[in-house]
Amino acid sequence: MRVEWSDFARDDVDDIVHYISRDSAFYAQRFGEKVVLATRRLGDFSESGRMIPEAEDKTLREIIVQGYRVMYRLEPNRVLILAVMHGSRDVAGREKKPWEDG
């Protein structure tokens, strides 16, 4: 199964890496690599992540990488990475959820 990234998720990782790089370019790069490596395994083990607790859709899942939630959607021929956000952020209280289109 293919693993693809939404533009929104790419921007999330870029923003997080940029933020971490203000303190350490080394750890920023390591974080980016860890997220990418963690998502690659989803091609073979797409259901390894837990269902997103705030969502009522079994195709919406997430894995946790260093305290960050990597949210993705299971689709027939691919895994689509939807968003990457810190675990302390309130998803339930957001007007627009990361998995909602438009």
In a domain, 96, yes or no: no
In a domain, 94, yes or no: no
What's the structural domain count of the chain?
1
Structure tokens at 76: 């027939």
In a domain, 66, yes or no: yes
Range of the domain at 77: 2-86
Q: Work out the pLDDT band at 101, boundaries 50, 70, 90.
A: low
What average pLDDT does the segment 50-64 reach? 92
Burial of 46: CB neighbours in 10 Å, binned 0-12, 13-18, 19+: middle
In a domain, 93, yes or no: no
Distance CA(56)–CA(42), nearest Å, equals: 21
Distance CA(58)–CA(71), nearest Å, equals: 12
In a domain, 79, yes or no: yes
What per-residue confidence (pLDDT) applies to 102?
A: 46
Distance CA(72)–CA(78), nearest Å, equals: 10
CATH code, domain carrying 13: 3.30.2310.20
The crossing angle, in degrees rounded to 10, of helices 25-40 and 7-21 is: 150
Residue-wise pLDDT tens digits, 28-45: 999 999 999 999 999 999
In a domain, 99, yes or no: no
Distance CA(96)–CA(102), nearest Å, equals: 9
In a domain, 11, yes or no: yes
In a domain, 95, yes or no: no
